[in-house]
Structure 1
Amino acid sequence: MTNIDTSLKPEFQALYDQLKTFIPESRLITDPLRTLAYGTDASFYRLIPQLVVRVESELEVVRLIKLANEQGTPLTFRAAGTSLSGQAITDAVLVQLGDGWKDYTISEDTSTIRLQPGVVGAHANRYLAPFNRKIGPDPASINAAKIGGIAANNASGMCCGTAQNSYRTLNAMRMVLSDGSVLDTGDTASIEQFRQQHPSLLDTLASLGELTRSNAALREKIEHKYRLKNTTGYALNALVDFEDPVDILQHLMIGSEGTLGFISNITYNTVPEHPHKASALVFFDSVRTTCEAVALLKPTPVAAVELMDRAGLRSIENKPGMPEFIRHLPDDAAALLVETRAESADQLQQQIETISRSIEHLETSQPIRFSTDPDECARYWAIRKGLFPAVGAVRETGTTVIIEDVAFPVERLADAVADLHQLFQRWDYPEALIFGHALEGNLHFVFTQSFDSEEALRRYEGLMDDVAELVVNRYAGSLKAEHGTGRNMAPYVELEWGQEAYQLMQQLKALLDPTGIFNPGVILNSDAKVHLKNLKPLPPANPLVDKCIECGFCEPVCPSRDLTLTPRQRIVIWREIKRLEDQGEDPARLQQLRRDYSYQGDETCAACGLCSTSCPVGINTGDLTREIRHHANEERENLANWAAEHYGGLMKVSRGVFSLADKTHGLLGSQRMQTVTRSVRRLSGNRVQQWTPAMPTAASRIKLIDHAADTAPRDKVVYLPSCASRTMGPMRGAEDSESLADKTIRLLEKAGYEVLLPNALEGLCCGMPFQSKGMFDAADRKRRELSAQLMEVTEKGRIPVYSDTSPCSLRLQEGIAPELKLYDSIEFLDQFVLPRLDITPVDKPVALHVTCSTQRQGLAEPLKRILSACSTEVVIPDQITCCGFAGDKGFSTPELNASALRTLKDSVQHCDSGYSTSRTCEIGLSHHSGLEYRSVVYLLDQCSQPRSL
């Protein structure tokens, strides 16, 4: 890495000096690149922290809070940074969760789950899935949002409503308060100790609760507010719902957005995850009829009712697979996506009938039809979930997408929707659309906004002022139903709640954070214009990524997420680099960002493309990385073309290198070999690639089976072994020394196939080694050559092609001749080989790594199916996504592979062996797990016989 500028403002230097006595300096971040990258969240605001602190334990948090309190230094806690209202940014100290916050405990009866704040919401549900349970909150960001943020924002979602959010399903909480004290409400001893040490605080909370409950007008207002979804301000319902001050305190922490303390773990009451589900997409010719239907559906056994207005339907009506009739709906049309869930199929059918009867007298554009087919239901939900990105995908470069979040009484929903549409017309937002969780009266409206002129700001301010007036004074609704107050709605909290309730919130803040160090300016803010300040620029950077809305959904799948940058952060920094270039601004900062980005953004990017699978607008940040590499390597394009032309010779050289390394390994032994190669690598300035004991031996030449004596006809298949399969044999000491190519041919022959090979195989390549380095001409040249050879050997596509390495399969499927029927090994084994074999599964646990290319091809489930047929227990390690080996990154940038697989060994130590679908990935997996990872072909061959007739 480069030397970085660690200069701090004087008021933060003293804190830094004290922090480094108990937190390693590697976790105290001050350089311009990472403070900007780590300080960016999903909102349309930007503040750059002076210091980012990565904490790994509760003890570190306690000591940090005590120091900050002594010095009056503001702290802002950050989980995943998916919040939308500006509650997770700061220009002071940002506190990030490190690796040490992912533990969980499920109670014996599965009625509760205790979670640390770094657990991703979807992972919590994954842990509970075998028991048909889940956590209550289900925000749209659940695949990225962490429990700390879900609780701190009281995030809800499409199905949880007001009955299953964090506030309602809270069982216990462990928290750190502003004086550094720790309270665990699930521990009687902790509660008793806290009562003894904080009698004044608890007495004041009890008194505030008593006063609130005895104030009839205030109590009625609070009860009304929380019959709706409401996250505006503090959870004043805690003062009404509970008398014990400990209960009041822990429920005040829910939705407090890190302004009252730090949640170090939370115990949820789990809720049922019903196995039987049905969905219906119901269309109406008018919004009013649609909203009437919502009111009729509310008392029926529905799990979710999602509203989509005509503008929303128009935004997706031309997408592939959309029914033709949607294009012809009238201008006032709307739709409801209805879901119901049950324990049994019979109960589900009864519920469908009850729901259908409740609205059968209303006129619908199409007949009401519920589906229980998972794929069809997934398509319905994809329509609903596609509304937000549909706006993001068509916005002008330089504008942001804003999603606002309000709630109205359900019985007044139709009028409220009509009034919102009028406001969009008044303030000239023709693209604005409305959708939302109609069952709770919760509507989201989405629009695009630029902040590059006074007129744009005036228009936005006018819209927000009018929305506040409409929601609060006309409908007595909620200005923030589930996205949290943040900076975005802080100026309107008093308008919504009134002076008396607002003063009560101020008292609570002063009581629990007397020095004001926790996330100042969030929820309560005296600046009436704070929502118009510190607005995030989104300048053009590259058409490949300009549609990025910085939501952070990509981050949990990125292999470099805990080493350097995530896809969102790479885009943030590249935008800043291009902004500084275009404006000719701050050349010293630009130079430093460019220098640091070469490692943080480029060298440590696996370019695996997994980010595109979770991005709402399908951005593959790996494409940006490859383009940056392309421009950096333009002068080496001739060398790349020479290598492409002489590829067969290079493969022979590679095989020779592996053979030489293996012989040297045999002479020196693993420990001495590792010592020698590490020294050479260090002396070369890391230019020599890293060696590990898992390095492959040289692959033997491929041997086809002679069928000259066969009389029985066989189906033919063309086998395409990758470069890696042709050059890399098993590791030294492998359980089975046969090469993957020979093993594959044996298996295909066992299944009754005659195997053919392409001509001139030695010089063929899909182009992946060139593409990953941005050498696009050479990459495309090799793919065209291979496509031509495959056309010849397959008799112009008549014979199918079996590709044995998933990354190569993906690369080829993106650009070979359309006549070719190319199958990844997983596809072919699942569809054509398994049915021809008798399988006797091994009775031992095996580990499975699903490669990034396997996931991108949608082949994860077939791969799991193959392994499950071959073993009684298949272990897929939690939190491992892409392995980070990335072709040769495991040799050249081994820290990327090590970071991506840092939790692998503990996850698979009880397994007998490991399996995957990419030879290079298997090198890193073997090295970091202590197991030998091989192709799934080895296991399938081991436990199979030809199917008896």
Structure 2
Amino acid sequence: MSDPYHVLISKLRQSIDDKRIITDPTLTLAYGTDASFYRLIPKLILQLANLDEVVLVIKACYELAIPVTFRAAGTSLSGQALSDSVLIMLTSDWRQHKVLNNGEQIWLQPGIIGAEANKILAPYQRKIGPDPASINTCKIGGIAANNSSGMCCGTAQNSYQTLAGMTVVLADGTVLNTLDSYSVAQFKISHKDMLKDLTKLAQACKDNTALADKIRHKYRLKNTTGYSLNSLTDYSDPIEVLQHLFIGSEGTLGFIADVTYNTVIDHSFKATGLYLFADIEQTCLAVSELANTSVAAVELMDNRALSSVANKPGMPDFITQLTAENNTEAAALLVEIHAESEADLNQQVIQINTLIDELNPTEAVEFSTDTKVYNQLWAIRKELFPAVGAVREVGTTVIIEDVAFPIEQLAPAVRDLEVLFKKYHYDEAIIFGHALAGNLHFVFTQAFETEEEINRYSGFMDDVAQLVAVDYQGSLKAEHGTGRNMAPYVELEWGSEGYALMQDIKRIFDKTGILNPGVILNDNKDSHITDLKVMPAADELIDKCIECGFCEPVCPSRELSLTPRQRNTVYREISRLQRSQEEPARLAELEKSFKYLGIDTCAATGLCAERCPVDINTGDLIRKLRQQHSPIANVIARWSSDHFAGLTSATQAGLTVANGVHSVLGTKAMRTVTKATHKLSGGAVPLWTPSMPKAAGKVKRLASPSDGLSLAHKKVVYFPSCAARNMGTAKNAMDNRPLADVTQAVLQKAGIEVIMPGKLSEKCCGMPYKSKGFVDTALSKSQQLEAALWEASEQGKLPVLMDTSPCASTSIELMTKDIAIYEPFRFVAEFVMDHVNITPQAEPIMLHVTCTSRKQGLAGVMEKVSRACATEVIIPDDIQCCGFAGDKGFTTPELNASALSPLARQVPSNCSEGYSNSRTCEIGLSEHSGIEYRSILYLVDKVSEKRDA
């Protein structure tokens, strides 16, 4: 590392925690990855927690002439969030927000995810204007810096049009809050020359009639190519010009520290329909006609796009038949209508239907307000990008380009794009997009491993640029940002005068050129084919990963070590180096780091697969690697499986001893001793906490309501999980009864007879083995339990209740017989609530939705049951998984602590109870919340009474 970086690090260490100053090669590779098809590895990554730190870093980099790049979520596609110098990332501290003017405005820090902003605004029936496809992952900083739009946003509701104000940090470290009169007044004094230059620039632009007209024409369309030149024609106040130039500036003019948006209406009434037309001309004619109506969204999909998803479940029959009929001409429109009332919606449906009928669609799914139909139709559109990614050859990447044409020229433009696909042999390419804005995406696969492939891509992009920017006077980037990808073509689109304006803008804001150099403006005309990312084969479990980052918000280790995207990136590089046998020292370092960062700290919950466009479960890879890394562990696993009853007894004995020692030493001394022991053992000895349970004791079958009665129609097979059989309550629990007793008490009240399988101490669902990668042992235990449950349930006639969600989820996944398996919440909802009297308690409760419950789609059921039992239920934000992950809360407690770091501050002062459906998760939740978490069955038992016959 060169001297300026040493000087920078020395200066920053005086004010910033050393853990957030990152030079480790594994982490710089992993954290430096974004969703684009470029690769740059930062020399230094800084995770900054507040505005003062940002100012400190920018000033230091300015003084040392060190380039700096800002990163939000890293979902950008054009290479604008990469650096080979200093990369600034935001910690989770940048998530504050304020709703203003009864929801008509919202103040947001840049770390808030777009979908979270809409969740905050939902009670006001408002939302932010931008609605990018990545809204569940991308953050406000990136949304504003890229002027992201989306399916319904168009050009009227993007960040540029809905901006109310912002706080920015300039290249010299100056902070400007455009909504603070004092800040603005001070800035006008300190930066009068800058504002004078911007005023001159805006006036000169307005005086150049031809250029001003061109700018207005270009922004009729979606346009994110270059800087927001429309700010020079739309505004005269230099502060307004400045803040609107920041929109879409991709970090090249300064840092966006917060944004205040004017929000838009989130309509309650929506209808969606799908219409197929004979050819692209008729389809685009329909777009032109619909553009004159009040429709909210019109998504175009060409025939190849439709064919790519024809085999997906739930597709309309006419899409399935397209490929068989080899109809290469047909195209479809997905149309959505919004309204503020049902009557208004119905009126719009009649009007739009009349218009569409006149355009002679060949097939249709008529407008529907049914949520199921809505989800099915939008699934078609959302599956298009993944469909290409899923079938691509190993070693290729998926590229999605993003252009805009005048609507009246949409049909010939599509035809001309298809000609280019054929010319360059992109036979898999598909076209879809936001047709109302003339915005088309085309997706294709590309390898960058040979000069021939790079030249093919380069020639194709040259022809695309000529076609879009010159022949059709369109936008080369409509919503994905210029980045490095389109920087060589900015002058082609804007001409020499427009390009000169952009160069002036860059000089006014960034005289030394330290801010994200090479992005938007780049003297290297080959920047779009420089620093290309190769995607080598690593393992079939992750080879389809496109490194989009959609998985990251749900990963419990995202603040501790690596996310699924980052794990895949590092493992790809390890695999490449293992095959090439080059850089052995670097390979050894990566392998050593990956052991902890990649393998040990992965919760392997599989939540990443729920968000992944191509259904990758990185946890499957990690489980596989865990098995490979410890061959002796396979032997131990098999032995423990064969001696499970003895292991259960030993576990209970250990818990009894720990509880006894705790009673003697006291909590403080116990913490100190066990923390030291855990550390000295390298994590082999579990970490004790005050939430550690006592031994549960032997499971007792309580008196059944059917004893002496005939209630054969109300029976359940109850399987107490290993966790419930081993782990009782914590020492100072509100209710000291073991979970098995409480479960049976609830069933008694509901008049349900309990049946338990025999030899309980030998039985296990297999989850502890599966999570560690011992698949064969897991299957063996699962089959053993399945046989017992099949017999106990009278060959599947009776439902089976498992008292913890992970066990139920694993059994549903692994068992093959037709057995109805329930975790507590769903069982209570379906079999208990209608047969007992429930009086909801006034005291608030916390509810934790476990990752296994999320995967089973039970979040709604869990909330419903909880709200029946308590008048106030708090579901904390930003916790998708507790990170306890079986036994990792004991052996790798930092994972649990990191995943639950947002929890304690969300617990109200008048709340002392939390509920869930996993005994181990509840231990970690109790430890990191400051209140006691336990099974929902405790609450159901507390607030329910037996109903009189």
Give the structure-2-normalised TM-score. 0.98
Query: How far did residue 893 of structure 1 move?
Result: 0.8
Query: What SS does the corresponding residue of 1:697 show, helix, strand or coil?
Result: strand
Task: Decide whether the 8 Å contact of 1:356 with 1:368 is kept in 2.
Answer: no
Is 1:940 paired with 2:933?
Answer: no
**Residue type of the alignment partner of 2:932:** E
Is 1:22 paired with 2:15?
Answer: yes
Map of 1:456 onto structure 2: 453
Task: Decide whether the 8 Å contact of 1:305 with 1:337 is kept in 2.
Answer: yes
CA deviations 1:800-828 (Å, max 9, x no partner) are 11122111111111121232122232222
Query: What SS does the corresponding residue of 2:45 show, helix, strand or coil?
Result: strand
Query: How far did residue 752 of structure 1 move?
Result: 2.2
Q: Within 5 A, what are the aligned runs for 1:71-90?
A: 71-90=64-83
Task: Point out where structure 1 has 5 or more consecutive residues left out of the alignment.
Answer: 1-7
Query: What SS does the corresponding residue of 1:843 show, helix, strand or coil?
Result: coil
Map of 2:869 onto structure 1: 870
Q: 2:175 aligns with which of 171, 182, 192?
A: 182
* RMSD of aligned residue pairs (Cα, Å): 1.2
Q: 1:41 aligns with which of 34, 37, 42?
A: 34
Is 1:888 paired with 2:902?
Answer: no
Query: How far did residue 668 of structure 1 move?
Result: 2.3
Q: Within 5 A, what are the aligned runs for 1:478-557?
A: 478-557=475-554
**Residue type of the alignment partner of 1:754:** E
CA deviations 1:224-260 (Å, max 9, x no partner) are 1111000000000000111100000000000000000
Is 1:474 paired with 2:471?
Answer: yes
Query: What SS does the corresponding residue of 2:492 show, helix, strand or coil?
Result: helix
**Residue type of the alignment partner of 1:804:** D
Query: How far did residue 93 of structure 1 move?
Result: 0.6
Q: Within 5 A, what are the aligned runs for 1:659-678?
A: 659-678=656-675
How far apart in 2 are the matches of 1:936 and 1:317?
Answer: 43
Map of 1:287 onto structure 2: 280
Map of 2:782 onto structure 1: 783
Query: What SS does the corresponding residue of 2:385 show, helix, strand or coil?
Result: helix
**Residue type of the alignment partner of 1:171:** A
Task: Decide whether the 8 Å contact of 2:711 with 2:753 is kept in 1.
Answer: no
**Residue type of the alignment partner of 1:610:** L
CA deviations 1:497-551 (Å, max 9, x no partner) are 0000100000000010000000000000111111001000110111001000000
Task: Decide whether the 8 Å contact of 1:909 with 1:929 is kept in 2.
Answer: no
In the alignment of these two chains, the number of paired residues is 942
How far apart in 2 are the matches of 1:693 and 1:108?
Answer: 45
How far apart in 2 are the matches of 1:304 and 1:708?
Answer: 62
Query: How far did residue 947 of structure 1 move?
Result: 4.2
Q: 1:948 to 1:226 in 2, by over 3 A?
A: farther
Q: Within 5 A, what are the aligned runs for 1:101-500?
A: 101-329=94-322, 330-367=327-364, 369-500=366-497
How far apart in 2 are the matches of 1:749 and 1:292?
Answer: 66
Map of 1:680 onto structure 2: 677
Q: 2:639 aligns with which of 642, 655, 665?
A: 642
Query: What SS does the corresponding residue of 2:579 show, helix, strand or coil?
Result: helix
Query: How far did residue 319 of structure 1 move?
Result: 1.1
How far apart in 2 are the matches of 1:818 and 1:97?
Answer: 48
Query: How far did residue 403 of structure 1 move?
Result: 0.2
Query: How far did residue 775 of structure 1 move?
Result: 1.7
**Residue type of the alignment partner of 2:184:** I
How far apart in 2 are the matches of 1:712 and 1:124?
Answer: 51
How far apart in 2 are the matches of 1:454 and 1:681?
Answer: 53
Query: How far did residue 732 of structure 1 move?
Result: 1.0
How far apart in 2 are the matches of 1:612 and 1:633?
Answer: 25
CA deviations 1:648-671 (Å, max 9, x no partner) are 111111111112212222222222
Map of 1:831 onto structure 2: 830
Q: Within 5 A, what are the aligned runs for 1:540-689?
A: 540-689=537-686
Map of 1:797 onto structure 2: 796
Q: Within 5 A, what are the aligned runs for 1:42-57?
A: 42-57=35-50
How far apart in 2 are the matches of 1:658 and 1:226?
Answer: 68
Query: What SS does the corresponding residue of 1:360 show, helix, strand or coil?
Result: helix
Task: Decide whether the 8 Å contact of 1:300 with 1:354 is kept in 2.
Answer: no
Query: How far did residue 712 of structure 1 move?
Result: 4.8
Query: What SS does the corresponding residue of 1:498 show, helix, strand or coil?
Result: helix
Query: What SS does the corresponding residue of 1:658 show, helix, strand or coil?
Result: helix
| Stretch deviating more after TM superposition (834-843 or 391-400) | 834-843
Task: Decide whether the 8 Å contact of 2:102 with 2:124 is kept in 1.
Answer: no
Q: 1:683 to 1:473 in 2, by over 3 A?
A: closer
Map of 1:60 onto structure 2: 53
Task: Decide whether the 8 Å contact of 1:435 with 1:444 is kept in 2.
Answer: yes
Query: What SS does the corresponding residue of 1:891 show, helix, strand or coil?
Result: helix
Query: What SS does the corresponding residue of 1:17 show, helix, strand or coil?
Result: helix
How far apart in 1 are the matches of 2:646 and 2:279?
Answer: 69
Query: What SS does the corresponding residue of 1:171 show, helix, strand or coil?
Result: strand
Task: Decide whether the 8 Å contact of 1:57 with 1:101 is kept in 2.
Answer: yes
Task: Decide whether the 8 Å contact of 2:823 with 2:917 is kept in 1.
Answer: no
How far apart in 2 are the matches of 1:942 and 1:130?
Answer: 31
Q: Within 5 A, what are the aligned runs for 1:688-699?
A: 688-699=685-696
CA deviations 1:429-450 (Å, max 9, x no partner) are 1100001000100000000000
Query: What SS does the corresponding residue of 1:281 show, helix, strand or coil?
Result: strand
How far apart in 1 are the matches of 2:488 and 2:208?
Answer: 25
Q: 1:292 to 1:650 in 2, by over 3 A?
A: same
Task: Decide whether the 8 Å contact of 2:274 with 2:364 is kept in 1.
Answer: no
How far apart in 1 are the matches of 2:305 and 2:719?
Answer: 46
How far apart in 2 are the matches of 1:596 and 1:642?
Answer: 30
CA deviations 1:94-132 (Å, max 9, x no partner) are 011112211001114211110011111111111111111
How far apart in 2 are the matches of 1:772 and 1:435?
Answer: 40
How far apart in 1 are the matches of 2:158 and 2:200?
Answer: 27
Map of 1:726 onto structure 2: 725
Query: How far did residue 592 of structure 1 move?
Result: 0.3
Query: How far did residue 409 of structure 1 move?
Result: 0.6
How far apart in 2 are the matches of 1:394 and 1:829?
Answer: 43
How far apart in 2 are the matches of 1:816 and 1:629?
Answer: 23
Query: How far did residue 367 of structure 1 move?
Result: 4.2
Q: 1:31 aligns with which of 19, 24, 31?
A: 24
Map of 1:69 onto structure 2: 62
How far apart in 1 are the matches of 2:457 and 2:276?
Answer: 32
Query: How far did residue 274 of structure 1 move?
Result: 0.9
**Residue type of the alignment partner of 1:880:** I
Is 1:931 paired with 2:899?
Answer: no
How far apart in 2 are the matches of 1:777 and 1:213?
Answer: 73
CA deviations 1:729-777 (Å, max 9, x no partner) are 1111111111111111111222221111111111111111111111222
Query: How far did residue 326 of structure 1 move?
Result: 1.4
- Percent identical among aligned pairs is 55
How far apart in 2 are the matches of 1:846 and 1:588?
Answer: 53
Q: 1:763 to 1:207 in 2, by over 3 A?
A: same
Map of 2:746 onto structure 1: 747
Query: What SS does the corresponding residue of 1:617 show, helix, strand or coil?
Result: coil
Query: How far did residue 916 of structure 1 move?
Result: 0.7
Query: How far did residue 884 of structure 1 move?
Result: 0.7
Task: Decide whether the 8 Å contact of 1:9 with 1:50 is kept in 2.
Answer: no
| Stretch deviating more after TM superposition (887-896 or 746-755) | 746-755
Query: What SS does the corresponding residue of 2:843 show, helix, strand or coil?
Result: strand
Map of 2:922 onto structure 1: 922
